[in-house]
Amino acid sequence: MLKRALILICSTLLLAISFARADGWDKKTVITFSTPVELPGIVLPPGTYVFKLLDSLSDRHIVQVFNKDETHIYTTILAIPNYRLEPTGDTVMHFTERPKGSPDALRAWFYPGDNFGQEFVYPKERAMNLAAEVKAPVLAAPLTPETKPEEMAKAPVETVAPPAPEEVAPPVETKPAPELEPTPAPAPEAPAVPELPKTASPMPLVLLLGVTSLTLALLLKRAS
């Protein structure tokens, strides 16, 4: 009886250890969000979700997000290790704050007791927008909703830095066109002086005067 009891206890302990290792391996975490949260490629409404690691031998981690009952997968996310100096006994979620009215973007997830967590990789175009918006670097990769987990593990990951202030083009201010002064009316042209027609030769007039003078002379002589 004692031997059977010892065997039963050992079997129970081994079974418990197996479950503990399984939970520790996939980092299963149940978390409730009270507000909408943005993850790479999806925005989760408020609710309870299950985060788990997909079994992968690569140095990157594939995170899957399920509903509360683990009957539906919302999204599969590429992540890389993000190390921290002081592990804590609680689950830690790092968010990137965004403007009021926009859901906070989930940046990293730390499992209790681990000195490293999962830093999420966003699609490149979205990462560029987030980096410019939150003024902080964001991990990026050429990902799409159709990218498979095995393809995620090989995708090139880069850090998208926020653009420098001088790289951001300032808004172009449209200046009104200057008011033009009215063009003065042209001065009226002076009337042209009519040109007199050219007369004939003055010789007939000279002859007429000569004849008149002779006639007067003759008359005066006769009268005297």
Q: Rounded to the nearest 5 degrees, what angle is found at the Cα of 114, between the Cα atoms of 109 and 119?
A: 30
Across the range 12-37, mean pLDDT stands at 65
Q: How far apart are CA 25 and CA 64, in angstroms?
A: 14
Residue 223 confidence (pLDDT) above 80: no
Using CA atoms, how far residue 89 sits from 95, 100, 123, in Å, is 19, 31, 31
The average confidence (pLDDT) of the chain is: 76
Cβ of 147: how many Cβ atoms within 10 Å? 16
Give CA–CA dist 27/52, Å, rounded: 6
Identify the pLDDT of residue 5: 43
Q: What is the mean pLDDT of residues 27-42?
A: 92
Q: Which of 38-42, 201-205, 209-213 has the lowest mean pLDDT?
A: 201-205
Q: Which of 5-14, 27-36, 207-216 has the highest mean pLDDT?
A: 27-36
pLDDT digits 0-9 by tens, 96-131: 878 788 899 999 999 999 888 999 999 999 999 999
Q: CB under 8 Å, gap of 24 or more: what pairs does 85-90 form?
A: 85/115, 86/115, 87/112, 87/113, 87/114, 87/115, 88/112, 88/113, 89/113
What's the token pair of residue 124?
């490149």
Q: Among 62-71, 93-102, 200-209, which is the least confidently predicted range?
A: 200-209
Helices (H), the chain: 2-26, 124-134, 149-152, 203-223
Instruction: Point out the least confidently predicted range of 51-60, 110-119, 172-181, 189-198.
Output: 172-181
pTM, two decimals, is 0.60
CA distances from 183 to 12, 40, 178, 180, 186 (A): 104, 64, 15, 9, 9
Residue 78: its pLDDT value, please? Answer: 93
